[in-house]
Structure 1
Amino acid sequence: MAANLQVVTNSDDALLAWTPDPWSDDLVGFRLERKDLKTGNVTVLNNRIPAGADGTQVPVGGVASTASPIRRCMWVDHDVEQAGQAAYRVTPMAAGAGGFVVREAEASPWVSAEAPDSVDEGAAVYFNRGTIMSQVVSRLAGGEVNVKSLKALKAHLAEPGYPGRRYLAGQARHALLDFMANADRRGNHIYAALYELNDPELIAGLKAFGARCHLLLGNGSSTFDDTAHELESADVIVKHRDLSHTGASSPSVHNKFVVEVDTASGQALRMLTGSTNWTTTGLCTQLNNVLVLERPGTANRFYQQWRKLAEVGDDMPEQLRIDNGKASVDGNITTLFAATKDQAEFAPVLDAIAKAKHGVLFLMFMPGQSPLLEALLARVAEADAPYIRGVVSAVTQSEKGVVTEHNAQVIANGVDPERFHNEVLKPDGLPPANLPKWALEEFQRGMYLSAGLNAIIHSKTLVIDPFSDDCVVVTGSHNFSPAASSRNDENLVIIRGDKALAQAYAVHIEGVYDHFAWRAFLSNGGDPATIYQPLTGWQGGNRAKELAFWMNRA
């Protein structure tokens, strides 16, 4: 018999899920291989841990999975350059005299990954790699884990050519720059509504348009004092909007969208939105996404919203609230805005959560007493709940708006939902008191605060039944909170039936969940050697539910 393998991808990663056939008691792990479909070259993927619990640190690139088997049934390949041009194979391994035995006869067939970021449905999503409490950031800092080195890293992140910036900003940076470059090359106008702006490379991209760039700049606290003047000196048309009327950052002019408008016809062509603030920290030190929609109908709705917001100045008139809550439908894409009356934008999302059959994955930032979060907690408590994975991130601020604490909470099947309200996980690097022998020390939460950085999940996205024809993606700038619904400028985009897009988001969310869950486990005193336990744990319980979700692609 042969192992069964499924591969799901986004623009940055490939998620592999598999089951051996047969499930032998002597299995210790698996060899993973990747084939370049252009050249035919085969690469053995590396493990990030040593072969045994008593091992020491592995090289920077890891150790081949033939020497240190992958001791689980799911894996994310972060190193693949073009997921759509790769195939994978998994082979069971057993313990042998002086090493491991590769069971070639039980290898899976080669399984190709289909890149889901094509715009067949007019939508593509791109992510950064802003998980900064990580091994890779420790390496970027040269292994010097202290506030001084973190401040030095922060300073470098604003430099366009700095390798650490390019790694952490990932595909999200490329998406923003490419969107501007293509619009500029065509000689078109762009209309941008941005909560805050300070990144030099992105500012340069806007300045290239001159008077063809129309910027509605919000009241985010990270915008530098001279940013607007710098843009205006390049002939950019800058308008300001401040819902607080006092220069405070709340209520927030919280959009992060850009619309390309054809110069000749005046028609909107395409647009982008998502969670990414146009700041260096938004690009590099927070988890974010950029959604690009090649849909003129949706782009026109955002263009009209830009014009409405520019017209009303610093106010939120009653008619604007009413209009914001009216759904704009463009085929499979529904758009709503905030602020609204009676949380009108949440109604279709609550309906989608209630109808979820197979799985729900989500990331939230500062949702407060969100009805969406409450609905998810109710679903995870059901006896026959769908597969549910989510992380909720929040910050605590002083009266002057200074961040004093980072919090994150994990929601999953098998975890009492009541604990969500009672237990707060402090997102941190690997705990020094429980650091695995093979791991580098990671930066801790307190160091980030001292360095003026926020280690947060800033994405606001929800994916329902990603392998179904009835899949749903919910994203945009909206924090899903009652406060955002009633007070802020926000956008909420609901995309139905685009399985490639839904799976792209799902792969990203699963990776974020794993990152936080592992560190939370160790911070709570969990034994690092647990990772070397027998594979039988994947044959039942919540592990089996997780595997079934990704394997069955229901």
Structure 2
Amino acid sequence: MPDVIKVRAATNNEVAFLAWDIDGMIPGCLGFEIVRLYPDTGEERCLAAWVPFKGQRNPRWIPQDTGVWPVQKTFWRDLTVRRRRDSITIRPEGEMIAYRVRPVGDMKPGLEPVPVRPDQVVDGKPAYTGTPRPLGYLGQGAVSPPIFLGQMFGKARVAFTNGVLSTQWMSRALAEAGIKVGQRDKIRAELQNPKSKIRAYLQGDVPEVLTSLLERAKSQHGSVRLALYELGDDALCDAIVAAKDVVEVILSNSGKDDQTKEWDFGNAPFRKRLRDEGVAVTDRLFNNNHIGHNKFAVYRDAQGKPQAMMTGSTNWTSTGICGQSNNAFIRDDPAIAEVFNAYWERMKADVFPPPASESAAGHVAQKQGVPFREENHLASPLDGATAALDGMTVWFSPNDPERSKKDISVRPVDLDDVFVRIKAAKRAVLFLVFNPSRLGENSIVDQAVAAAKADPKLIVQGAISDETAMPNYVAPTKDPVTHKSNKDGKSPFVYPEKVWEAPNVSIVRAANLTGATIARDFQAEVLTVGHAIVHDKIVIIDPMEDNATVITGSHNLGYKASYENDENLVIVEGDKTFAAAYAVHMLDVFDHYKFRAWRRTIGKGPSADDGISIDDKWLKPYADGKKGAIARYFP
């Protein structure tokens, strides 16, 4: 009898991704039960499941488990590895876990029955409606090797936010708090409240990582240098003020407010507070197209020697830590810390005239100087833009000595490095991006698609916030007289729209379930409370190979970032543990939005119904596992 023969698992301390192989089609298989194992204690916990068989309903969204409603794929995400299925409390880290996967089908004589673990009655009422469907095991299954649930991945401490707002959990948590999906101001206030359980759930371990170097400086008599684009969260501002004797901050301007038209509207009250509290602040106010987009920190020891650095995509705002998909990591590495420290010092020395006022628009004079751009263009370790040290390469922006505005005729040095690496990929290119270039072959998205077309064995998967960065986006035309949009063009949610045209490519736009696209017991969802949904700027290349590469930092992976902004772009090569953590994060966000994007595209049918209800009519045994190449490759 065919069975599950191999299970692989990886985690990033927020979620786990697992995939399994079978040695043939399993007659009568309805799906798979997944159980999380704790080898040190012998505890077993079946993974949560919310979506019932057809003929059943789960109107109160009460979780059962995969022994009641099995998984109909050969890969899955364990979303409750830290976050519990029935409360906002967090499971501890520092444990070993493994996974057992067994095939199940309708119960028949001779089969071992699948236990029904959760109580079927809640508050005196059935947990779900409809006739229960007893299941039996169709095989012994297989168990994954144990994995460690911690924060250290390779040489770095890594954290990811849980800030994906378009979830059923979020919709129901807001409803319990008396907040409707469309009440963005109330949602934003909830995310800003340091005592909010919703905020605590969404932010994950990221705030602790962002501020940990400040705590280290206070306890070890060191100091921290921060370079921030946005500061817009009371708790994070409190952490800076509490470390005012050991911290220096370069704070750039936030954008122009849509209503008041004032520049630096978001940062202004926090900038004032830092000054009033005696924090050493260097203003870096462009108030124009140039932005100081960094979000990094350098820790220096008591002797002033750089020892560690922190970077990633997370802005120091409530939205950044709670309302977006983001990442941050810390690495204790004196050589790399020195590179970031030198860039921080060059930035502080790069003086240009301030705008007429902090809220006034900047002009041509408010931009980075030529010497600063020249130094960022250099490629020598420890003395310029890049440092190829211990598997890391670091690029800083802006890095064109002759140009301070985007010029698609000249490829920036940092993006040229990224494009070369994408072109050389052998197995997979994965990405999460907010707003990369929309320039055809000059886009990292189009570079990845081109690489997949050149090599049908190369897997390319990614999620994007900005609809105009989708490969199949078509801009609307404008009326030549009124200059208004003709509302033609195309704003797709998925690429390719015909899967068979590029079966090794799957790119989706971040989307939510709306009133027009929800089904059965699902609710309409929030999409975003800010401009970005997926705010990560990451590319992962060949994550399970010896050359495993992660590209991350503040850089949006577009030409503007290289030509006009203060940015950092970090490339970590050869660290499979670090790459696996980022790949799990990417696959979690991608798989979440993939369902919603296809639902918005198709509206009905088996592809859109996947995950809406369980039924062997749509199973077509293990179609996702047989055709979903990423499940065969990773982890």
* CA shift for structure 1 position 226: 2.3
Q: TM-score, normalised by structure 2?
A: 0.77
- Cα 1:46–1:317 shift into 2, 3 Å: same
Q: Which residue of 1 aligns with 2:300?
A: 261
How far apart are 1:70 and its partner, in Å?
1.3
Separation in structure 1 between the aligned mates of residue 436 and residue 500 of structure 2, nearest angstrom: 20
**Whole-angstrom CA distance in 2 between matches of 1:84 and 1:358:** 31
Aligned to 1:431, what secondary structure does the other structure show? coil
The alignment covers a number of residue pairs equal to 525
- Measure how far apart 1:176 and its partner are: 1.5
Structure 1 residue 383: Cα displacement: 4.9
1:340: which partner in 2? Answer: 399
Q: List aligned pairs for 1:435-450, cutoff 5 A.
A: 435-443=518-526, 445=527
Give the root-mean-square deviation of aligned CA atoms: 2.7
Q: What amino acid is aligned across from residue 85 of structure 1 in structure 2? A: M
Aligned counterparts, 1:25-424, within 5 A: 25-50=27-52, 52-57=53-58, 60=61, 62-81=63-82, 82=93, 84-96=95-107, 99-103=133-137, 105-115=139-149, 117-118=151-152, 121-142=154-175, 146=180, 149-221=183-255, 223-242=266-285, 244=286, 247-248=287-288, 250-263=289-302, 265-314=303-352, 315-325=367-377, 326=379, 327-341=386-400, 342-368=411-437, 369=439, 370-394=442-466, 410-411=494-495, 414=499, 416=501
Gaps of 5+ in 1: 397-406
In 1: Cα distance, 2:242 partner to 2:194 partner = 16
**Structure 1 residues 426, 470: closer, same or farther in 2, change over 3 A?**
closer
Which residue matches 1:461? Answer: 538
Distance (whole Å) between structure 2 residues aligned to residue 266 and residue 77 of structure 1:
43
Unmatched 5+ stretches in structure 2: 83-92, 109-131, 256-264, 353-366, 380-385, 401-410, 469-490
In structure 2, what is the equivalent of residue 404 of structure 1?
A: none
1:529 aligns with 2:606: no
Asked whether the equivalents of residues 161 and 322 of structure 2 are also in contact (C-alpha less than 8 Å), the reply is yes
Check 1:411–1:542 CA distance in 2 against 1; reply closer, same or farther (3 A cut): farther
Query: Partners in 1 of 2:445 and 2:276 — Cα distance?
Result: 44
- 2:632 matched residue in structure 1: 548
SS of 1:381's equivalent in the other structure is helix
Aligned position for 2:517: 434
Letter in 1 for 2:146: S
Provide the C-alpha distance between the structure 2 equivalents of 1:34 and 1:425, rounded to a whole number of angstroms.
29
Q: Which SS does the other structure have where 1:329 is aligned?
A: coil
SS at 1:508 equivalent: helix
For 1:55, what is the secondary structure of its paired residue? Answer: coil
Q: Secondary structure at the match of 2:465?
A: strand
Change in 2 beyond 3 A, CA 1:37/1:181: farther
Q: Which amino acid aligns with 1:92?
A: P
Shift of 1:129: 1.1
Report the residue type matching 2:102 in the other structure.
T
Report the AA paired with residue 334 of structure 2: P
Match of 2:408 in 1: none
Name the CA shift for 1:474/1:145 in 2 (closer, same or farther; >3 Å). same
Q: What is the deviation of 1:76?
A: 0.8
Pairwise CA distance, 1:409: 5.2
Deviations 1:371-429 (A, max 9, x none): 42221120122352411111122279xxxxxxxxxx885557947579x9xx9977442
Q: Which stretch of the first structure deviates more once superposed, 476-485 or 227-236?
A: 227-236
| Paired AA for residue 580 in structure 2 | Q
97-106 or 204-213, which moves further after superposition? 97-106
Q: 1:65 Cα deviation (Å)?
A: 1.4
Identity score, percent:
27
Instruction: Return the alpha-carbon distance in structure 2 between the equivalents of residues 541 and 14 of structure 1.
Output: 17
Which structure is larger by alpha-carbon Rg, 1 or 2? Answer: 2
Q: Are the structure 2 counterparts of residues 357 and 328 from structure 1 closer, same or farther at C-alpha, using a change threshold of 3 Å?
A: same
SS of aligned partner of 1:520:
helix
C-alpha distance in structure 2 between counterparts of 1:19 and 1:424, whole Å: 24
